[in-house]
A = this chain, B = another copy of it.
Amino acid sequence: MLENITLQINEHVYLKDPVTSELGISIVGKSIDLLYELGFEDFTFKKLAVAVGSTEASIYRYFENKHKLLSYLTMWYWAWLEYRIAMGVINIESPTIRLKKCIQILTERVEEDGVFSQINEVKLNHIVIHESSKVYLNKQVDEDNQCGFFSSYKNIVKRVSDVVLEINKDFQYPHMLISTVIEGANHQRFFAKHLPRLTDVVEGKDTVVSFFQELVEKTIKH
């Protein structure tokens, strides 16, 4: 369903919009497979070129470098999250339930979505967990920010912060709280897999969602 909807991504992140050609779509699709498999450090445009059956030079016509490509994927993920949050809270009147739903969407494990056929959301979620911090933890962050690379992220934080304020208009740190939840959920998923002593994993239960829902609920109480 909804096969022909696509997410609009900031045009400064690519040189040529990848969704406008077969090759571009293939570059994005294969880059997800390769980043998932190799991690950002071992991922190169040479390997990507081989994977899509093209050449390095052709990849460079779409993306300036691998950092921009990672930014593109992360921006797509945020835009997708923004869309899912907007859909997920439609018709929910109670701000408390709406907030709970937002936190759930922000922190839950991603399942195959299938709405956007060209993108594997499960692998992309894995990439976001493992690599997305690298999108902003660098020297170009201010320039990228000026180009609007983080607008979807900011929109999400703003949107959910507003629900927090609906519940408690005096709460002083709504943006800190929500950005902490978003980053925190990704980190906890990483820790659960690689550094379990830094977390609290329980068999058969998604503690990440419960933890952050409880944390938010209690923190914003009067």
By a beta-carbon cutoff of 8 Å, the part of chain A in contact with chain B is 38-39, 41-42, 130-131, 133-134, 136-139, 141-142, 145, 150, 153-154, 157-158, 172-177, 179-180, 183-184, 187-188, 190-191, 194-195, 197-200, 207-208, 210-211, 214-215, 218-219, 221
Contact = CB atoms under 8 A, between A and B. Distances in A.
Nearest to A188: B176
Contact of A197 (B136, B154, B218): B154
Contacts of A42: 139
Given A136-B195, A180-B187, A191-B179, A221 B218 contact: yes
14 contacts: A38-B139, A130-B137, A134-B134, A136-B195, A141-B195, A153-B195, A157-B198, A172-B200, A175-B198, A176-B208, A179-B199, A215-B219, A218-B219, A218-B221
Given A133-B137, A137-B133, A184-B180, A174 B200 contact: yes
A41 B41 CA distance: 11
Main secondary structure of the interface of A (DSSP, over half): helix
A138 to B, nearest CB: 6
Given A41-B139, A173-B210, A183-B184, 12 more contacts: A39-B138, A131-B137, A141-B195, A142-B194, A150-B198, A172-B211, A175-B200, A176-B188, A179-B187, A180-B187, A180-B188, A180-B215
Given A180-B184, A187-B183, A136 B211 contact: no
Contacts of A150: 195, 198
Nearest to A133: B133
A150 B198 CA distance: 10
Nearest 9 Cβ contacts at the A-B interface: A179-B198, A180-B184, A173-B211, A154-B197, A173-B200, A39-B139, A218-B218, A133-B133, A141-B194
A39 B136 CA distance: 12
A190 B137 contact: yes
A139 B188 CA distance: 17
A127 to B, nearest CB: 11
